[in-house]
Amino acid sequence: MYYDLLAKLKNAEQAKKETFLTPFSKMDLSVAKILSQAGYVGDVQKKNVGRREYLEIRVARGKKTHMLSDFKIVSKPSRRLYVGHENLRPVRQGYGIAVISTPQGLMNNKDAKKNKVGGEYLFEIW
């Protein structure tokens, strides 16, 4: 799940790693693409090592990138949280993003509000 991806990203950034590998899943690929568009990660590539598929994620470095300080899992298997587009608020006064699972796919809170779609409120990252 994406919980593991977020923890690995935070640990790689704190350890000043350039890249890290995580097992491939379509959900993780979608989350990584959203984080790449927001500037939290750099390049995302799918790699095959033997029979296994992995995602190789480059940790973003530079002036135009965001430093990941923390994340918060909002919707959990024990308690799902759904929001409508009118209830979406900025994360950390606009310095973070939230990822929403909508009928049109995963998107961040700004795109979901602009497209007027709601869905499951997965997590926040800042």
- pLDDT of residue 5 exceeding 90, the answer is yes
CA angle 27, 6, 10 (to 5 degrees): 155
Q: Are residues 83 and 120 in the same domain?
A: yes
Cα torsion through 53, 8, 67, 28, rounded to 10: 40
Q: Are residues 78 and 112 in the same domain?
A: yes
- pLDDT of residue 63 exceeding 90, the answer is no
Q: Are residues 120 and 76 in the same domain?
A: yes
Q: Are residues 75 and 51 in the same domain?
A: no
Residue 91 lies in a domain: yes
State residue 6's pLDDT score: 97
Residue 30: pLDDT band with limits 50, 70, 90: very high
Residue 66 lies in a domain: no
Residue 64 lies in a domain: no
State residue 111's pLDDT score: 97
- pLDDT of residue 43 exceeding 80, the answer is yes
Total domains in the fold of the chain: 2
Please state, in angstroms and rounded to a whole number, the distance separating the CA atoms of residues 44 and 42: 7
- What percentage of residues in the chain have a pLDDT greater than 70? 99
Encode pLDDT of 66-122 as tens digits.
788 999 999 999 999 999 999 999 999 999 999 999 999 999 999 999 999 999 999
Domain boundary among 11, 32, 59: 59
- Neighbour tally for 104: CB within 10 Å: 12
Residue 117 sits in which domain range?
A: 71-125
Beta bridge partners of 22: 55
State residue 125's pLDDT score: 97
Q: Are residues 75 and 27 in the same domain?
A: no
Q: Are residues 92 and 49 in the same domain?
A: no
Q: Are residues 84 and 42 in the same domain?
A: no
Domain boundary among 34, 59, 84: 59
CATH number of the domain where residue 80 is located: 3.30.1490.10
State residue 66's pLDDT score: 77
Mean per-residue pLDDT for 14-28?
96
